[in-house]
Chains A and B, each alone.
Chain A
Amino acid sequence: MNATAITPDTTGHRDVRENTLAITGWGVVTSLAIGAEEFTTAIGEGRSGLRDVTGMFDEELPEHEAFAMPDFKVRDHLGRKGTSFFDRSTSLGLLGCTLALDDTDLTVTDDNRDRFGIVLGTTAGSIKATSDYSRETLEGDKPFRVNPVLFPNTVMNCAAGQSAIWLGLKGVNATVAGGRLAGLSALRYARNQIRRGYADALLVGSAEEFSPHTAWFSHRQHAAEEGRVKVGEGSAVFVVENAEEVRAQGRTPDAEVLAVEVGTYGAPGREPDAGAGLADCIGRALRRAAVEPSQVRAVATGESGIARLDDIERRGIESALGAEVWRVRASEWVGECQSASGSLQLAALLAGHRGHPELDGAVSVVTSVSPDGGVGAAVLRGWHRARGDHRG
C-alpha cells in the first residue's frame, strides 16, 4: 500500500493545473535498441545493452564492457552526406530527433517549421570532441593549428543546432546543461515554451556519448562503488505538443506529461537534505498533476548503484509514495547514461505502455538525482499505440 503523506508545499508554488504536454512520438538510440518499436520489444524481453567495448577507441578503457555501441556510425542511419564532421553527441541527438519525427503523426512543413523547435539536454556537450580540440592546442609548437571545421563541436549547443539544420526546424532551439537532471530540465524548459505560446511543437530529449573520457571520469570517481552500473551512452527524444490541441485535433498521444518539478538542495550528506527535497518535488508534481500518491503505478528511477545517490532517491520516493511502489530501473537495460538517463527512464515507461492497452491511463513518475544536490520528478499518464506506427 502506498503512503499518502505528502510533504507540505514549502516553496509557495500555487496549486494550479495548467495545460499539459502531450508526447506524440519518440525515438531512442541505445546499445539495447534503436527506435521506439525495437526498444519496446527489447525492454519487454528484458534484454541487456551491455557490450564488449574492447578496441572501440585508441585509448585504453577502464573496463571491457559498457552499455555502448562499438559499431555505431551515424552515416549508417542518416547517410554520408553532411554527417562526416558530427561528433558523437551530435550524432546521437540528431538520430534521436529523426527517429522521434518518424514515430509521430505530426509532419514538419513550411507552415509549422517556424514554431517547431528543439530542446536537448546535455552534461557538457561532446566532452571528447572538446577535449580532443583542447589537446590539439597542447601538442606541437603551433598551438593554433586546430581544425576550424571542428570548432563548433566544442560548443554544447552543437547537437541542437545541427539537428535544427538537418530537420529545418526554425523555432525555439535550446540546450539545457542539466547533467543527470537534463532530461527533466529539458521537459520543464519545453513545458514553459509551449504554455507561454512561444512554440507549437518541440523535439525534447537528451543525449550522452560514451568515450574514453566519460569512462575514465566515471571510473576515477566511482570505481569503489561495488554495485555500480556500467557507463552507457544514448539518446531519447520526444515530440511534445500542447495536449489540449492534440486532443482537439482528434489525435491520441502516447502520454501526457502532467507535471515536472525540480529543486536544488545540498550534495549528498549536506544540508538541506536532497532526499527530503526529492519527496517535496514529487509531492509538488503530484499536486500539480492532480494525482494522489496511491494512483502512481510505477516510478522510473535513475538509480545506478552509486550508494549515496541511490539512497537520496530511495528516501525521496519512499517518503512521497511509500516503499511498495514499483520501481523501474532503466539503467539495468541501458546503463548509466548521465544526461540521457532521465529521458531513457521516460522512454522505458512509454515502452511499457506501447503494447499494453490494459495500462491505458496509468500514472507513473520519473525521478532524477544529481551528485550536486539537484533533484527532479515528472508525472505522466500513458496510453498504448493502437497501431505500431501513427502513420499506419
Chain B
Amino acid sequence: MNRRVVITGLGPVSSIGTGVTAFGRALRAGTSGISAISSFDSSGFPHYMAGEVPDFDPKALLRTLSTSEWGRTSLFAAAAARLAVEDAGIDEKVLAGAAAGSSIGTTSGESQVIEALTAEWVHSGLDRITPAYAAQVPASRLATAVNQELGLTGEAVTLSTACSASNYALGYAYDQIVTGDADYMIAGGADSVCRWAHAGFYRLGALTEKVCSPFDKDRSGILTGEGGAALFLESLESATERGAHIYAEVLGYGLNCDANHMVAPDPVSIAACMRRAHHNAGIAPADVDYICAHGTGTPANDAMEAQAVVEVFGTRPPPISSIKSMLGHTMGAASGFGAIASALALDEGFLPPTTNYRTPDPELPAIDPVPNESRPAQPKVVQNNGFAFGGNNAITILGRVA
C-alpha cells in the first residue's frame, strides 16, 4: 500500500488565536501573541515576556475529558485535536470506529505539573506531594488525551524530540496512513510556558527581552511560547470520497541528527536533512516556493539556518519567514504551528510574514524573510523546518494537491 496523504483539518490553540479562522486571520495580519507572563511569578527575572495563551479554556473546547484530571499540556493537545477534527468535518462516530490514532510532539511534556510537584517538594517535602500530580507526569499522556477525547482506540504516541517534535509526529502520522496501518491520524504538538525553561534560555543567553525578530541584524533571541497544534490526516482517496476540504498534501519528510553538540545547530547536518526531506518527498530544491523557518531569532540559529538554505538552494532561495516572530517559540508545538501555517499558505495563497523586522542582516544577503506583512502568493510546495536540542532535525514537505 502506498497512499497519498492529505491534511483536511487544522486545530491551532495559540497566543494569536484559537481555531483555524482566528489563527489564519492573525497570521495574515502579523498579530503579536506576546504578553507579560502570567502563568508563573516572573518577578525576579530580568525578562518577563512570553507567548502564553491566557484565554485558554479547555472546558469550553473539550467534550470528553474531565479537565481536572489532566495537565495543561495534555489539555492543549486534546483541545487542538478536537478543533482539527471539527474542522475536518468528519463524523465523530465514524472516526472512533476506524483505524485512527494520534502522534503528538513535545519538548517538556507536563512541565507545569513537574513544577507544581517541585514546589511541593520545596515547601512541604517529597513525602507530601499530591499523588494526582504524580500520576500526571508521564508525557505519554499528551497523545493519550487526544485519543480519549476523541474515542480513538488506535495508537497514541508522544514523541519528545524537543523543538522539532511536531514534525516528527507529522512524519510518523503520514507513514501510518501511507502504509495503511491507520486510516486517520491526528498529528501535532503541545507545550506549556514554564519557569525553568524561561530561566534556562535566559542563562543560555538565548532569551530576548521583549520582541522576537528573526533574521533581523539586531535579533537577540527567543521568547518562550505555548499552545497546541493539531492536523487531521487521511488518505487522498478518503478525503475525496467524503468531499472534504483539502488544505494540503503531505509529500514527505526527513529526519537526521547532528551528533555533534546538544544545543549548537550544525548547518552541514541541517542541509543534509533538507536533502533527505526533498528526496523522500520526490521533489527538487527548485520546486520549493516557500520555507516556513525554524527561525528562533537567536543570532546563531538564524545564521546557521540561512547558511544551510543557501547550501541547498543556492544564493536565490525561496522566501523564508518565521512565525515565531508572532507566537514566540512554542517548543514542541512549534513545527506543528509551522505545518498549520504552511497548509494555510498553500490553501489560501499567501506567505506569512516575519514580523518585527527592521534591519536587514548583511550576513544573510540571500534571505527574503517576507518582512512584516504577509504577501499574496500561490505556493505549490512548502518546506517546514524544525530543529532541536540534541541535534534532532526534522523537516516536512507539504504541497498543493495537484
Residues of A with Cβ closer than 8 Å to B?
10-14, 16, 59-60, 62, 113-114, 117-118, 122-125, 127, 130-131, 133-139, 141-148, 151-152, 154-158, 160-162, 164-165, 167-179, 181-182, 185, 188-189, 192, 195-196, 198, 212-213, 216-218, 220-221, 262-266, 272, 277, 370-374
B107 and A264 form a contact (CB under 8 A): no
Partner-binding segment picked from B11-19, B131-139, B338-346: B131-139
Establish whether residues A122 and B257, one from each chain, have CB atoms under 8 Å apart when the complex forms: no
Interface of A is mostly: mixed
B265 within 8 A of A: no
Cα–Cα, bound, A11→B263 (Å): 41
> Do residues B139 and A177 form an inter-chain contact, with CB atoms below 8 A?
yes
Given A123-B140, A154-B196, A374-B144, A169–B257 Cβ distance below 8 Å? yes
A242 to chain B minimum Cβ distance, whole angstroms, is: 15
Could you say which residues of chain B place their CB within 8 Å of the CB of A374?
Answer: 140, 144, 156
With A114-B256, A155-B389, A371-B135: A170-B269 Cβ-Cβ less than 8 Å: yes
CA gap between A117 and B106 in the complex, in Å: 20
| Complex contact A217–B137 (CB within 8 A) | yes
Q: Is the CB of A124 within 8 A of B121?
A: no
Alpha-carbon gap, A248 to B388, bound state (A): 37
A174 to B171, CA, bound (A): 12
What's the nearest-Cβ distance from chain A to residue B182, in Å? 9
* Residues of chain B from 13 to 52 with CB closer than 8 A to chain A in the complex: 44-46
Nearest-Cβ distance from residue B263 to partner chain A, whole angstroms? 6
> B302 within 8 Å of A by Cβ?
no
Residue on A with the closest CB to B256?
A170
Q: Look across to chain A and name the residue whose beta carbon is closest to the beta carbon of B168.
A: A174
Judged by a CB distance under 8 angstroms, whether B284 is at the interface is no
Chain A: which residue is nearest B118 at the CB level?
A: A134
A372 to B203, CA, bound (A): 36
- The distance from the CB of B207 to the nearest CB of chain A, in whole angstroms, is 9
Could you say which of B129, B195, B262 has the most chain A C-beta atoms within 10 Å of its C-beta? B262
Chain B residues positioned under 8 Å from A142 (CB to CB): 44
A138 to chain B, nearest CB (A): 5
With the chains together, A175 CA to B255 CA distance in Å?
A: 13
Closest approach, in angstroms, between the C-beta of B52 and any C-beta of chain A? Answer: 17
Complex Cα spacing A210 to B167, Å: 31
Pairwise interchain contact A195-B262, C-beta atoms closer than 8 A: no
In whole angstroms, how far apart are the Cα atoms of A190 and B355 in the complex? 39
A158 and chain B: residue at smallest CB distance = B390
Knowing A127-B114, A152-B262 are in contact, say whether A122-B129 is a contact too (CB < 8 A). Answer: no
Q: Please pick, from A60, A169, A372, the residue contacting B259 in the complex, using a CB distance under 8 A.
A: A169
Cβ of B235 < 8 Å from any Cβ of A? Answer: no
Which residues does chain B contribute within 8 Å of A171, judged by CB atoms? Answer: 256-257
Cα–Cα distance between A195 and B101 once the two chains are bound (Å): 20
A/B interface sample: 19 pairs, CB < 8 A: A124-B109, A125-B160, A130-B108, A131-B114, A134-B115, A134-B195, A138-B195, A151-B263, A157-B388, A158-B389, A167-B259, A168-B259, A173-B256, A178-B140, A185-B157, A213-B126, A263-B154, A272-B153, A372-B144
Which of A12, A122, A157, A175 is most buried by chain B, counting CB atoms within 10 A of its CB? A157
The answer for the CA separation of A260 and B258 in the assembled complex, in Å, is 29
Chain A residue nearest in CB terms to B201: A151
- Least distance between A175 CB and chain B CB atoms (Å): 5
Query: Smallest distance from the beta carbon of A374 to chain B beta carbons, Å?
Result: 6
**For the complex, what is the distance from the CA of A144 to the CA of B156, rounded to whole Å?**
36
- Report yes or no: A264 in contact with B196, Cβ–Cβ below 8 A: no
| Cross-chain contact B140 with A177 (CB below 8 angstroms) | yes
Known: A156-B109, A173-B390. A124 touches B203 (CB 8 A): no
Tell yes or no: B147 within 8 A of A by CB: yes
Contact with A along B239-267 (1 / 0, CB 8 A): 00000000000000001111111110000
In the complex, what's the smallest C-beta–C-beta distance from A141 to chain B, in angstroms?
6
Q: A131-B114, A164-B259, A198-B255 are in contact. Are A155 and B175 (CB under 8 A)?
A: no
The residue on A at minimum CB distance from B117 is A131
Complexed CA–CA distance, A123 and B109 (Å): 10
Residues on A with C-beta less than 8 A from B201 are 151
Contact indicator B262/A114 (Cβ below 8 Å): no
Q: B160 contacts which chain A residues (CB < 8 A)?
A: 122, 125, 155-157, 175-177
